[in-house]
Amino acid sequence: MNNEPNDFLPSEILRLLSKKGKSAFFPKMGILAQAAKAKGKRYNATIGTAKDDDGSVMSLKSIAELIDVDPEVVFPYAPGFGRPELRELWQKMLVEKNPNLAGVKISKPVVTGALTHGLSLLGLLFFNEGEELICPDLYWGNYRLVFEHWHGVEIKTYQTFKDSGFNVAGLREELLTSGDKKVVILNFPNNPTGYTPLNEEVLEIVAAFEEALAAGKQIVVFIDDAYFGLVYEEGVIQESLFVRLGNLNKNLLAVKVDGPTKEDYVWGFRVGFLTYAYKGMSDEAAEALEEKTAGALRGNASNISNLSQSLLYKAYSSPNYEAEKQEKFETLKERYKEVKKTLTDHPEYTEMFTALPFNSGYFMCVKLRDDVDPAKVYQLLLDEYDTGVILCDDLLRIAFSSAPLKDIPHLYENIYKATQDVLQDK
Ligand SMILES: Cc1ncc(COP(=O)(O)O)c(C=O)c1O
């Protein structure tokens, strides 16, 4: 492929890209590319890394002896697209985790500096200043910094829940508003609500997209799968929405934003992936989208921690990986069940707060009764009850992921009592 990845993208996809997205490319004769050409040459004075006189990578012993991985592998730069073996493996793992992806053409995941960075790259590639992102009104607060602040995007919200389920009608309505290009973000299991749609709700979500496509809309959907796999109830979708949306229509580009941050409990490793799919995507178009992503990435992070990528690749190849992961899943599921039990055991709590629907992920939210100020309860919890939760507008978000099982009943008791205190003080 030359420096014109646009030549390989159909007009349906090209018009979804921002101005920057349209011009993004990975320099074919850039330093990384020229260094790759010179790999294995007797005399190689290309890239800005340093070698010892014996040709081994230069490293400080005090750093090298800390890590049980080959310095020759992890000390140099990682390729701009990410380590090839990790990209290959993550792609394979995506299909294992989402069996219905088998047979769907997906791009090779490009490695990003975790999900936040992936989202920000999407901001660059798909938004011109002032364009809208359709999003439920309960969303991860950092979307504001990523999209609104850094990319000048307007976050257009619809009410998240309707009749104790996901508000598909709200999504549908936003999709059908005037304007051809629609950019949507969906995040399940959700932060902050801990909600993932039920199987039947997914059918409705897909139908809403189909209706919008039939009405002539051109759509990009960012599928933020940060908490993928942490589903605790029957009847809730187990696979990513990427499976359903990635093979729906040539006018709907689905982008899976995911990574090991939460899935594999490595929050500080800063590795994530961006993977593309749309119906009828050719190999060349997939490569063009990968190239644009890597080009955008080369212009900010340059490339992503080789050490983190190498450690993950090694871990994924470990025979113990699956069992260890299952064990942590069970720990989180037990906590989830304890939250449900606590709420069932204490019907009186509903006098002070109600739980929003939740069935998955790291979190759940409670809505306090209308006549108390959530900010006061939040402060009282900190000051008098030794209890920290997150205040999200008029909700309290409780991360049961980070609370030991035995503390869970006390957490809710404290919220109940603090709300009572605030009410009595009024
Ligand atoms: C919904 C959601 N998306 C993305 C992220 C960002 O993840 P990362 O730490 O990999 O950047 C988070 C982190 O809290 C999140 O909750």
In this predicted structure, what is the pLDDT of residue 33?
80
Any ligand 1 atom below 6 A from CB of 135: no
Residue 351 and residue 307 share a domain: no
In a domain, 54, yes or no: no
One-letter amino acid of 251: N
CATH classification of the domain holding 130? 3.40.640.10
Question: What H or E segment, with its residue span, contains residue 223?
Answer: strand 218-224
Residue 299 and residue 339 share a domain: no
Residue 341 and residue 293 share a domain: no
Is pLDDT of 183 > 70? Answer: yes
4-41 pLDDT, tens digit each: 899 999 999 999 999 999 999 998 888 878 888 888 88
- If pLDDT is split at 50, 70 and 90, which confidence band does 74 have? very high
Q: To which residue do tokens 């979500």 refer?
A: 205
In this predicted structure, what is the pLDDT of residue 425?
86
Residue 251 and residue 341 share a domain: no
226-252 pLDDT, tens digit each: 999 999 999 999 999 999 999 999 999
Is pLDDT of 370 > 70? Answer: yes
Residue 188 and residue 309 share a domain: yes
Is pLDDT of 420 > 70? Answer: yes
CB 373 within 8 A of CB 396: no
Residue 283 and residue 360 share a domain: no
Tokens of 360: 């998955």
* Cα 115 to ligand 1 centroid, rounded to whole Å: 6
Domain finish residue from 316, 349, 371: 316
Domain finish residue from 316, 341, 370: 316
Q: Could you list the residue range(s) of the whole structural domain that residue 346 is in? A: 322-425
Dihedral class, residue 103 (left if φ above 0, else alpha if ψ from -120 to 50, else beta): left
Residue 173 and residue 92 share a domain: yes
Reference 80, options 297, 394, 320; nearest CA is 297
Residue ranges in 132-226 assigned as alpha helix (H): 142-143, 150-151, 168-175, 199-214
* Cα 398 to ligand 1 centroid, rounded to whole Å: 16
79-116 pLDDT, tens digit each: 999 999 999 999 999 999 999 999 899 999 999 999 99
* Cα 145 to ligand 1 centroid, rounded to whole Å: 13
Nearest ligand 1 atom, CA 267: 9
Any ligand 1 atom below 6 A from CB of 140: yes
Nearest ligand 1 atom, CA 262: 10
Number of domains in the chain: 2
Is pLDDT of 2 > 50? Answer: no
Choice from 90, 111, 112, 116 to test ligand 1 binding pocket (greatest atom count within 8 A of CB)? 116
Those residues whose C-beta lies under 8 Å from the C-beta of residue 337, and which sit 6 or more positions away, are 232
CB 270 within 8 A of CB 114: yes
- If pLDDT is split at 50, 70 and 90, which confidence band does 315 have? very high
In a domain, 51, yes or no: no
Average predicted confidence (pLDDT) for the chain: 96
- If pLDDT is split at 50, 70 and 90, which confidence band does 368 have? very high
- If pLDDT is split at 50, 70 and 90, which confidence band does 426 have? low
112-152 pLDDT, tens digit each: 999 999 999 999 999 999 999 999 999 999 999 999 999 99
Any ligand 1 atom below 6 A from CB of 259: yes
In a domain, 49, yes or no: no
Domain finish residue from 291, 316, 341: 316
- The pair phi, psi for residue 132, each rounded to 5°, is -105, 145
- Closest CA to ligand 1's atom 2: 226
> How many beta carbons lie within 10 A of that of residue 214, not counting itself?
9
In a domain, 176, yes or no: yes
In a domain, 37, yes or no: no
CATH classification of the domain holding 400? 3.90.1150.10
- Closest CA to ligand 1's atom 12: 226
Any ligand 1 atom below 6 A from CB of 226: yes
In a domain, 20, yes or no: yes
- Closest CA to ligand 1's atom 16: 191
Any ligand 1 atom below 6 A from CB of 187: yes
- If pLDDT is split at 50, 70 and 90, which confidence band does 45 have? confident
Nearest ligand 1 atom, CA 272: 10
Residue 250 and residue 343 share a domain: no
* Cα 160 to ligand 1 centroid, rounded to whole Å: 19
Any ligand 1 atom below 6 A from CB of 191: yes
267-300 pLDDT, tens digit each: 999 999 999 999 999 999 999 999 999 999 999 9
In this predicted structure, what is the pLDDT of residue 4?
83
- If pLDDT is split at 50, 70 and 90, which confidence band does 325 have? very high
Residue 152 and residue 19 share a domain: yes
- Closest CA to ligand 1's atom 8: 115
Any ligand 1 atom below 6 A from CB of 136: no
Residue 345 and residue 272 share a domain: no
Q: Identify the sign of the CA torsion 141, 145, 146, 151.
A: positive
In a domain, 32, yes or no: no
Nearest ligand 1 atom, CA 116: 11
Nearest ligand 1 atom, CA 140: 1
Q: Out of 55-59, 120-124, 307-311, which region has the weakest mean confidence (pLDDT)?
A: 55-59
Any ligand 1 atom below 6 A from CB of 272: yes
* Cα 351 to ligand 1 centroid, rounded to whole Å: 33
Interval 319-342 mean pLDDT = 97
Any ligand 1 atom below 6 A from CB of 114: yes
- Closest CA to ligand 1's atom 7: 115
In a domain, 36, yes or no: no
Is pLDDT of 327 > 70? Answer: yes
Helix (H/G/I), strand (E/B), else coil: 337: helix
Residue 332 and residue 299 share a domain: no
CB 360 within 8 A of CB 236: yes
Residue 407 and residue 268 share a domain: no
385-418 pLDDT, tens digit each: 999 999 998 999 999 999 999 999 999 999 999 9
